Amino acid sequence: MMDEFGLYPREEQFDPLGVMLFKALQVVAFLFFLALLAVSPDAKEGKIDSKAEFIITMDWPDNHPDDLDLFVQDPAGNIAWYRHREAGFLTLDRDDRGGANDFIVVNDKKIPSPIREEIVTVRGIVPGEYTVNVSHFQATTGEPVEANVKVQKLNPTAQVIFDDKVTVNHTGDEKTAVRFRLDTEGKVINVDQRPKSLLETFRSGWRNGADIDPKTGVRVRRE
């Protein structure tokens, strides 16, 4: 036969283990391809755009028992604070009361969180001046507390426009951390630290017949 002279290649011996391994490799490759499709959606669908224009954070030392509050006023006179967390485009993320509420309950046990932080987001552009204040709501240690305040502009790219420390000394102490001004396009055109009491602003405004609610710090219609 011609095959005896080597004119045709001999058929290799059938290897079932090799075939099984090859098929398994194909299955793995197919599953990997499906996984890539699941985690890599279309570029437009996967794009994440921040809905906040600015983020304002205040933090004080970890595990500190004192209660500090963040107050932010927009150019329209709205004030975001613990009694009114949404005011205009301002939103207070959480009222952090120091040692009073920094914990979660799991299986009837309190698990404390060491972090002391409050965050206000600005979700729209209103031209004019914004005021950021820190208030020492409750001093339990009798010692001054140093808080760090940071203001970041998020769009079109992240930019820190203010980052500094403010010290409050006693219950009721209120300090202006920063005042910044925006133009009609949301560009920061001025940053300073001139003092301005937000608590006194809406309290005195109500006493004088202005349209600011002393309980919330937001503008209301007066009859």
Residue 177 lies in a domain: yes
pLDDT in tens, 37-73: 555 444 444 443 458 999 999 999 988 889 999 999 9
pLDDT in tens, 71-91: 999 999 999 999 899 999 999
Cα–Cα–Cα angle for 80, 86, 89, rounded to 5 degrees: 85
The CATH number linked to 165 is 2.60.60
For the cut 70, the answer to whether the pLDDT of residue 117 exceeds it is yes
For the cut 60, the answer to whether the pLDDT of residue 107 exceeds it is yes
Residue 37 lies in a domain: no
pTM of the model: 0.68
Domain count, the chain: 1
pLDDT at 215: 46
Residue 198 lies in a domain: yes
C-alpha distance across the termini of the chain, in Å? 114
Q: What is the mean pLDDT of the chain?
A: 78
Residue 23 lies in a domain: no
What are the Cα distances from residue 48, in Å, to 52, 54, 55, 90, 203? 12, 16, 17, 21, 41
Residue 8 lies in a domain: no
The span from the CA of 167 to the CA of 145, in Å, is 6
For the cut 60, the answer to whether the pLDDT of residue 222 exceeds it is no
Boundaries of domain holding 82: 54-207
Residue 27 lies in a domain: no
Residue 197 lies in a domain: yes
